[in-house]
């Protein structure tokens, strides 16, 4: 009993710190899940745009999904979510304005993709999709560091 009472102040000190760490981990998990959702729509769209499969009528749903998931990409990277199992590089927070800029560009390219899917020609769709991919790649180039696993 005495021991518990004695360690109480210490516990009070540690618990909030633990929950902060927990919150950061959850932020990272959420971010990775959203990125996976974006990747899922990109992978599905690529198969359709490349003419590998025939679900053209589904493309709008994928494009809308992409847009919904990427409205606020910087919001997925709050301060403090830079430690733990993340592949985001420190530099993302150091060059926050650059990061915000490329995120905004990506969003615009996805909006254009949605428009192309709705009203554009097949060539427009292909070109717009390429631009979306450039956004993904550009951001991963500067701000993501993959460690030891596939790709």
Partner 1 sequence: MAHVSLAVRLVARTFAGKTNSLSCMTRWFFSLSLFAAAPLWGSDTLVDRGAYLVRAAGCVSCHTNPDDHDNGGGGFLAGGRALRTPFGTFFSPNITSDPQYGIGQWSDDDFLRALRHGIAPDGSHYYPAFPYTSYSRLRDEDIRAIAAYLRTVKPAAAANLEHVLPWYLWRGAVAVWKGLFFEPAGFSIAPDKDAEYNRGSYLVAIGHCSECHTPRNRFGALDSSRFLAGAKDGAEGESAPNITPHRSTGIGKWSVDDMVYFLETGALPDGDYTGGFMSEVVDDSTSHLNNEDLKAMAVYLKSLPAIHNPDFAEKQK
Binding region for partner 1 (CB under 8 A): 38-46, 50, 52, 95, 98, 130, 133-134, 136-141, 143-151
Give the span between the Cα atoms of 70 and 108, in whole angstroms: 10
Nearer to partner 1, 14 or 83 (CB): 83
- In whole angstroms, the minimum distance from the beta carbon of 104 to partner 1 comes to 18
CA separation for the pair 122, 135 (Å, rounded): 20
67 phi-psi bin (left φ>0, alpha ψ -120 to 50, beta other):
alpha
Nearer to partner 1, 8 or 59 (CB): 59
Nearer to partner 1, 24 or 48 (CB): 48
122: enclosing H helix or E strand: helix 122-143
């Amino acid at each position: 009993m005495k021991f518990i009472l004695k360690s109480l102040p210490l516990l009070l000190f540690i618990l909030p710190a633990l929950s902060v760490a927990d919150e950061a981990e959850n932020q990272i998990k959420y971010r990775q899940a959203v990125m996976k959702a974006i990747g899922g729509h990109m992978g599905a769209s690529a198969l359709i745009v490349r003419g590998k499969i025939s679900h053209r009528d589904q493309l709008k749903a994928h494009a809308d999904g992409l847009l919904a998931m990427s409205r606020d990409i910087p919001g997925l990277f709050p301060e403090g979510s830079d430690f733990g199992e993340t592949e985001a590089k420190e530099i993302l927070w150091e060059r926050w304005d650059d990061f915000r800029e490329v995120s905004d560009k990506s969003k615009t390219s996805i909006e254009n993709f949605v428009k192309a899917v709705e009203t554009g020609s097949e060539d427009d769709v292909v070109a717009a999709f390429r631009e979306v991919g450039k956004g993904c790649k550009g951001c991963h180039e500067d701000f993501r560091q993959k460690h030891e696993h596939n790709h």
